[in-house]
Structure 1
């Protein structure tokens, strides 16, 4: 039996007991360790030489990755990496580890990773607000967890802050930058609508002052011919209907938020003649400037 593909399915490392249950023999394991195909970082655990450090650390600690440490394993957006390991149900952990203790839903089958609901619950209780909102919105957007289910597990006084965060989510953003911008605009004193459907144009990311459209391209956005034509049609349709569009990238939101907000304010001050607007963006100063931390 080729052990490498099997170990990959377990996240590059596994408990010896799990491999024996999968049909691997003790002789095969001994040979693989002797030939350095597998390493034995601790008794009862074997790993590939290039094993993922987070998964291996979770196995050694006898816990499950959760919160920000589990986000990537569930395909969730991540605002920024966390140097500390976030674990649940670990035994005798120490050092740079955050202990989230108990789990409420079954973990992943082969990986030492908490279930999606627990990952979100732990994030809502543990992380800075922007990080928690990004992870929660990504989970809700995936359709694999429901807001009502999360709310049921956030009862009690100790979960008040987490409940307030959850109440602000709706699963509508398409990217981490949308979540961050949704938090930035109120702090800048701008009235806006998020995820608005405009006749003849379609759904837009944000609409400010009833005429200025903001669109955000993702970190992995690549303009192919089809999407290029689609965006041209949308922009042209907006101009015909007296809307203006500003487009921003991942780098604008997380690398130059000050410049992005400056462009938005300058555009609002240049409202085309004849277009009615609200007071938003006409000189109101930010109450509390929001500086999102850089994604890496």
Structure 2
């Protein structure tokens, strides 16, 4: 019943459930006693072990892995929340997050999903925070209003502005990042648009430009890449223009992405003028 999965057991809760001190000691011997009264599964992640040993709870980017949220890079610092805002003992490499409403921590070294997302919006760059919260909505059906209620006006316009970009219709972190590029360019687009004879595409921009964020380079699947090429040929026959962007282009060369999109529009206008 206890520690059948990589998690944490608190002595008080264990005994309250009817187990004995002898059973608790056997559990502690089999797993990891990281702090007085706190046992962590021997296969728990280092982040979870550290959170439990410090008497804190994972939040923000450090909780992303446990919820399966979209995050491009694992943070070098550990994002933790503590009762009263301070760890149980001195620790370096910790980013401290104050709990919303100063509620005490539950007997769990992982904050609730809505609070994790609220901390991310107040802490991470928009590209990262919007994607993280978007995945919480897509994968866990999190209500945006639940996150908004936590933020209120305490964390300023930046967090609330990023939250407004969460739509719950993206299929991947790449789509979220490309969507933000299109928004910055002031373009009209549809996501996950079904085009007869072509199939479902990631983006249809201004009614003619198909943009995909997949392909062989992204999925590592040659057969998928071949299907994409067939789709491009079919879309071209119907008057569409297609662009494909790899992950590293979206993440490391956003100006190249913008330039490519602008060039596609210029080419389309030239064709309209000369035909």
- Following TM superposition, by how much is the alpha carbon of 1:181 offset from its aligned partner in structure 2, in angstroms? 1.6
Structure with the greater relative contact order (CA < 8 A, sep ≥ 6): 1 or 2? 1
2:37 maps to which residue?
44
DSSP-derived class of the 2:168 partner = coil
Report the TM-score, using the length of structure 1 for normalisation.
0.73
1:26 aligns with 2:21: yes
Deviates more, 1:111-120 or 1:42-51: 42-51
Query: For residues 28 and 142 of structure 2, what CA distance do their matches in structure 1 show?
Result: 40
What residue in structure 2 maps to residue 191 of structure 1? 187
Residue pair 1:10, 1:111 contacting (<8 A) in 2 also: no
- Cα 1:199–1:31 shift into 2, 3 Å: closer
**Cα distance change of structure 1 residues 191 and 156 upon mapping to structure 2, 3 Å threshold:** closer
CA-CA distance at 1:137 after TM superposition:
1.2
1:33 and 1:204, CA in 2 relative to 1: closer, same or farther beyond 3 A? closer
Q: Does 1:151 align with 2:148?
A: yes
Alignment of 1:121 onto 2:114: no
- List gaps (5 residues or longer) in structure 2: none
- Is structure 2 residue 47 aligned with structure 1 residue 54? yes
RMSD: 3.6
Question: Contact (CA 8 Å) 1:68, 1:123: kept in 2 or not?
Answer: yes
Structure 1's unaligned 5+ residue stretches are: 277-296
1:16 aligns with 2:11: yes
User: Could you tell which deviates more after superposition, 170-179 or 50-59?
Assistant: 50-59
User: CA separation in 1, counterparts of 2:178 and 2:3?
Assistant: 41
After TM superposition, give the deviation of residue 78 of structure 1 in Å: 0.7
> 2:162 pairs with 155, 165, 178, which one?
165
Count of matched residue pairs = 267
CA distance in 2, matches of 1:10, 1:255: 35
* Residue pair 1:107, 1:113 contacting (<8 A) in 2 also: no
1:256 deviates by 4.6
Is 1:97 the equivalent of 2:128?
no
3-state DSSP of counterpart to 1:207: strand
